[in-house]
Every structure is written in C-alpha cells, then in structure tokens.
Structure 1
Amino acid sequence: MSYVSQSPVRNTVNKVAVDLFKFGYKNVAKKAFFAMPPDEAHDAMIKGCHAFGQIPPIMWALRQTLDYTDPVLETEALGLRFANPFGLSAGLDKDCMLPKVLDAAGFGFETVGSTTSRPCAGNPRPWFHRLPEYGSMMVHAGLANDGSEKVIARAEKAYTTTKSMRVSVSIARTNDRLAGDIDEGIEDYRISFERAANRTDMIEVNISCPNTMAGEPFNTDPKNLDRLFTALDEVPRSQPVLVKMPLNKTWPQFRALLEVLAEHNVQGVSIANLQKDRTGMPDIPADWAGGLSGLPCQQASNEMIARTYAEFGDRFTIAGIGGVFTPQQAYDKIRSGASLVMFISSLMYVGPQNIATLKRGLADLLREDGFDHVAEAVGVDVRS
C-alpha cells in the first residue's frame, strides 16, 4: 500500500468537511438516532452505512472530504504498514457490513466481529444502554453474529478490495447452549481460526467477552489459555495474531496470561475489553446487564498498557482500546506503549467525523513534541 500526504487544498477541504459533518451529526443525525432505543439505532446505523457503502460516488466524496492523510501518522506494526494507527474495535461491525465506509472515511484498520464458529443470536435484548454522562455504553450483545463462515468470507473480500485500510477479524467462542467443556471451547475457537487463516491482514482472538453463557475460562486459568493456543499454534497461517485481553484483572493475574501467550505464536495484545467495575456510577440501574465501554475503561486500560509495555514491550505489539474521544486521549495510549489505537464509543457520541479529528490532532501533537513518526512516540512515557 502507498499513502499520499494531504495537499494544502485538500487539507482545507477536509477542515471544512469535518466542521460540516460535526454540525450535521450533532444537530440532525445524532438527534434522530438518540430518539430511537439504542438497539434500534445501532441496527439502523449499520444498515444505513452498509447501503451508502454500495454507492461508489458517495464513497468517493467521503474519501475526498473526510479522509485526512499525513506522513507523520504512517506506521509499521505487527509486520504491516498502516496509513495511520487508528482502528475500529471489534463489537460494532459484527457481521462485516462497514469496511467500504470505514476505508473511505480514513480508518487505518478495522476489526470485524467478534465472530463465532456457529451463527449466534446473542443475549436477550436490549443489548445496549446509553450512558452519555459517562461517555459510555452498557453493552450486553453476547457475540451476536452471522457465524464465522459467512463473516470471514466478507472480511476476506474487504481484505482484497479496501484501498488503504487493513482488515482484522476477531474470533470468539460461540455463545449458545451448545457450549460445553474446555475441549469443546478449544475446538470452537479452532474452527473459526482455521477459517480466518491467510484471509485477512490480522486475526484477533477474543478471550475476554464478559457477556457469555460459558463465562471466561480462557482468561481465568492460564492452563486453559495454554491449551487453547497450543491448539491454535498448529493451524498454518501467515497473518499476525493479537489476543483481546480482559480489563478487570490484577497485574499478577494479567502478567500470568501474558507469560503464557509469550510462549506461543502470538504477536500482539489488544488492551482491553469492557469495564465490569461500576464503582462511582451508582445511578446505573442494577438490572442493566453488561460491561461498560468508552471513558470508564480509559484509566485502567492505560495502566495495563503501560505495565505490559514495560515488561513485554519487546515481545508484544500493543493495541490500546478504551476511552478515545480526543487526540490527547489517543496520544496518551501511544505514549503509554500502544502502537495501534482502537475505539467505538466516540463514533456515537461525537460523530463519524471524529476519525479525521483524531488523526489531525494526533499529527499536531506528534510534531509539537518533535516526533517524525508515530512509532517514535510509542512508550515514551514508560521509557523516560
């Protein structure tokens, strides 16, 4: 892939377009979406974006106006070159409906899924509750998806057709009543892993979904994790593998998982999944099931990123997740040790134009601190 830096004219167009998108989202689209129940708004957004993605003139216009490019944002991680370090985290585009729109909007990569070996209906609805006062969503979807046979086929098509965006697929254990013992769970992962092998830029193995019938046996006992990756190591594949880590662990517990992964064919870790701790948020109804996205994840995520980078920075590439609404928040994750940065919640609360705001703002912050490339800033606060 080759990337072209922004011309002065296009730079000006981008600034104007971002302002227009911001105004339109705040005053029109967001009001319409927030007038719907969250589950309905989510489904409408996915369907609408997918439909727009099938109209080439709209995608051309989106790329010309919203996609901000800058050489300082280009980076290499996991043996891959990225136009920028920003990606969509798994959990939004469960069925791979959005690659064309995200590519045109200027994402560096997308993580599709998480997807499972069998089609999965997910948990009983509602799946989502809005918490705007906390910059968060309560998420309880339970890995609803069309199944990895279909989803990975779509991801492979996106992998071969996107212009500048990398495509990752996140796989997880099927959340249904057929879920059995550890052996069954390992086989479930292996089926999807085999389907994904050599068909995308990256594979993410999600061991930390907090909303499933079978629980989280692969992040509560390191022996189970070792057994899982002993099986996955046997699957031939060319692309790098990341593991999506749990957030609510003590550092000794978290380190024990990393020590297991370090013995296997794993190149990176995604830190981290949803926040389970509701401390300081007493007004959240007790009957709202699920984990918290967005800002409640931020501090704990950054701390785990920094500790992982300090002890395992030579072994794993880190993708940071949780509470990225502003360029400074993204920069904090990078300076803590993240080579890549993923987000979802700010798309809903701030708008789709936020990808351009994040990229432009990060480029400014990097230059202000004298960095020529993103990679130079990775882990600087831990190393200093």
Structure 2
Amino acid sequence: MGYVSEDFLHDAVNKATCDLFTFAYRHVVKPHAVFNVPPDKAHERMIDFCRATGRVAPLMALLHGMLDYTDPVLETSVMGVGFANPFGLSAGLDKNCDMPVLLDNAGFGFETVGSTTSRPCLGNPRPWFHRLPEYDSMLVHVGLANDGSAKVIDRAERAWTKARSLQMSVSIARTNDDLVGDLDEGIEDYRISLERAANRTAMVEVNISCPNTHVGEPFTEPKNLDRLLDSLDTVKRSQPTLIKMPLNRTWPEFRDLLSVIADHDVQGVTIANLQKDRTGLVVPKEWKGNLSGGPTYAAGNDLIRRSYREFGDRLAIAGVGGVFTPAQAYAKIRAGSSLVMFVSALMYRGPQQITVLKRGLAALLRRDGFEHVSQAVGLDA
C-alpha cells in the first residue's frame, strides 16, 4: 500500500463529515426542528442551542475536528486585520453575541454581532421573521432588538480574546425606541456605542441603514452622515471601521455617500443592507419587513462593482447578500469584495455551509491560478 498523507486523510474526513452534516440538516434538522415551527421560534431555538453547546468544550472540539476546513489560499489581510478565510456571519442574526464559540469551531473567519444600540431595545412587535424559501429569502422586521451595547460589546471582547481564529466585529446602530430625538440625539447614541467598542474588537461596523426603525434612515443623507462621522472621527480607536450601506439607492446617491465616507476615519463599507423592493415577488402585503438573501444579490453585486471601480483604492468592501454557493461568493469577490458575509444560507442550508463555501471557493481560486484570495478581488470590476 502506498503512503497516505495525514493532510489527505484530514481532507477526506472533512469532506465526508460536511456531506453528512448537509444530508442531516436537509432531511432531519431542517424539516423536523427548524421549519416545523414559526421562524421566530426557530430563531430562539437556534440561539439557545448555540449558547448551550458553546459551553461544552468536548463537543466544540469534536465540531472543530469534523467541520473546520483550512486552506492557505483563503488566508487574507483586510484593513490591517488578518483572517483565516474571508467568510463571516453578517449582523442581524446573533444580536446579543451568543454564537461566537460555535462559529469559531465551525471555521468562520469572522462574525459581526448586533446590530447593538446604546440602550437595550425591545425591537418591533412580533412576528420578526417570515420565510420565503422560493426566493432563498427571509422577510425581516426585527427593529434592532438587543441587550444594549454595554453588555453585547463585553461579550464580543471576551469571545475575541478566547477564539481560536475567529475575528470579532460589532455592528452599532441607533436605538429604536420611544426616546429617539433629533439628529444630535442620534449622533450621541452612536457615539456612546463606539466609545464602548473602541479597541475591544477586531472591527466596528456603523449601521446607518437599518430599514425597520421608528426614525427611518436619516444618516443615509450625505449632510447628516457627514455630521455623524465628524463626531465619530474624534473617538480614538485602533480597529478599522466600516459603514453598513443601504441597498435601495441610485448609483449617484450611493456614490455621494461614499464620497462623504472617504473623507473620514473609515476604512471600509459593508454592501449592503436588506432589499426593500418587492417588485416581481409574491409576498403578502400584511407581512412587514424587508428581504434578505436572494433578492439582494444582483443589486448588491452591482453596487460592489461600481464602488470598487471608484473607491477601491480607498475603501475595503465587505459584500453581503444572497451568498448560497461558492460561485456566488467568488462572484462577489471578483466584483470587489475583500470579505464576504452571509446569514440566510445558514438558515436554509445549515451550519456546514461555511465549509461548503470555503472548500468550493478554494477550488475555484486554484482553478483560475490564484495563490491567494486577495488576487481575485475586483477582477470583474
């Protein structure tokens, strides 16, 4: 018998266990433990499961050994931060920082927790979610429910210091409650959370584009955004800052926002938030919220390409929205994304999807002759 390398065996085991996880999620977990209850309840179950299993070290070690896939071609450095791979969980799912241990052991490159706000926030009346599987989408109407940035950032810092390789980012937003006031109040709200986050995570995301709040999105107006960033610029911090951008803007409007951002202490942008346009989709009118996943994909990629062409030498791009396959992730990278985030794929495909994406992206990069993922960024822009 010929010699079989340890790396070959590990790769074979990883692929086999990933396939097993995929089969089990599709045929057992998804129909009998996730999609058999309303999505709000399924979300609560998932968070409880992540919180509980994350405390069981032997179980996490087993998960890491079975599921985590590493490959040098996926390693990258973005905005001065090193990543084992470019894939991260987007803000919006793990609002209170309950999932980092599981995500770390499953092999995510990073996680963005939140969005979190200066005051604890109850969010909008339920239901918060509606499933739209025919569109690979969820209708989201949470309204920034979270425990408040004082608690969430403490948890994110502890998770970051204990992680194997997971980089932690925290997304901060304006509190969505009855105490909201004028623009100055909103600026102070963001500032409080940024001061709490300074130097305590790998990155900070400033979410100016949550579409499900009482006061709308006033900081997606260039003048207001400039005022906000003038204030945030004075908060001393070592980690890079990204701005989470709105999806439903014309390119001239979007470019005006990028022009403002480029004049401030901001290193990147997250493109983009939820899709508001339901044109062509069969969605009950009484269902409140905005669309994640598939309906965001094409519009987001177009904004990524345009942003990279004009601002790629100044702002790093984290692309989010509609990533379910390695080819879709690769397309976002070639459009200009240095980092790729997802949420809906975790719900519809299962936790092993991170491994599917990493293995598939590595194969695509090697097929096209790249030694590092960064070499592919922006090639189609």
Q: Which runs of 5+ in 1 are unaligned?
A: 1-5
Secondary structure of 1:376 counterpart: helix
Residue aligning to 2:79: 78
1:28 Cα deviation from its structure 2 partner: 1.4
Confirm whether residue 229 of structure 1 aligns to residue 229 of structure 2.
yes
Secondary structure of 1:381 counterpart: coil
Report percent identity of matched pairs: 67
* Letter of the structure 2 residue corresponding to residue 143 of structure 1: L
- Aligned partners of 1:75 and 1:336: how far apart in 2? 17
- Aligned partners of 1:54 and 1:171: how far apart in 2? 26
Residue aligning to 1:372: 371
1:23 Cα deviation from its structure 2 partner: 1.2
Confirm whether residue 54 of structure 1 aligns to residue 55 of structure 2.
yes
- Aligned partners of 2:68 and 2:188: how far apart in 1? 41
**TM-score, structure 2 normalization:** 0.98
Residue aligning to 2:335: 336
Residue aligning to 1:300: 299
Residue aligning to 1:3: none
1:150 Cα deviation from its structure 2 partner: 0.3
Q: Alpha-carbon deviations, 1:346-376, whole Å to 9, x = none?
A: 1111111110000000000000001000000
Residue aligning to 1:256: 256
Residue aligning to 1:107: 108
- Aligned partners of 2:101 and 2:63: how far apart in 1? 10
- Aligned partners of 2:290 and 2:369: how far apart in 1? 38
Confirm whether residue 11 of structure 1 aligns to residue 11 of structure 2.
yes
Q: Alpha-carbon deviations, 1:54-104, whole Å to 9, x = none?
A: 000011011101000000000110101100000000000000000000000
Residue aligning to 2:201: 200
- Two-structure CA RMSD over aligned residues (Å): 0.7
- Aligned partners of 1:207 and 1:360: how far apart in 2? 33
Moved over 4 A (4+): none
- Aligned partners of 1:183 and 1:132: how far apart in 2? 41
Confirm whether residue 268 of structure 1 aligns to residue 247 of structure 2.
no
* Letter of the structure 2 residue corresponding to residue 264 of structure 1: H
Residue aligning to 2:380: 381
- Aligned partners of 2:9 and 2:59: how far apart in 1? 20
Matches within 5 A, 1:58-137: 58-137=59-138
- Aligned partners of 1:213 and 1:115: how far apart in 2? 16
1:152 Cα deviation from its structure 2 partner: 0.3
1:20 Cα deviation from its structure 2 partner: 1.0
Residue aligning to 2:242: 242
1:24 Cα deviation from its structure 2 partner: 1.1
Secondary structure of 1:380 counterpart: coil
* Letter of the structure 1 residue corresponding to residue 126 of structure 2: R
Q: Which runs of 5+ in 2 are unaligned?
A: 1-5
1:9 Cα deviation from its structure 2 partner: 1.4
Residue aligning to 1:277: 277
- Aligned partners of 2:329 and 2:27: how far apart in 1? 26
1:46 Cα deviation from its structure 2 partner: 0.6
1:26 Cα deviation from its structure 2 partner: 1.0
- Aligned partners of 2:26 and 2:359: how far apart in 1? 20
- Aligned partners of 1:374 and 1:73: how far apart in 2? 5
* Letter of the structure 2 residue corresponding to residue 313 of structure 1: G
- Aligned partners of 2:34 and 2:336: how far apart in 1? 35
Matches within 5 A, 1:25-44: 25-31=25-31, 32-44=33-45
**TM-score, structure 1 normalization:** 0.97
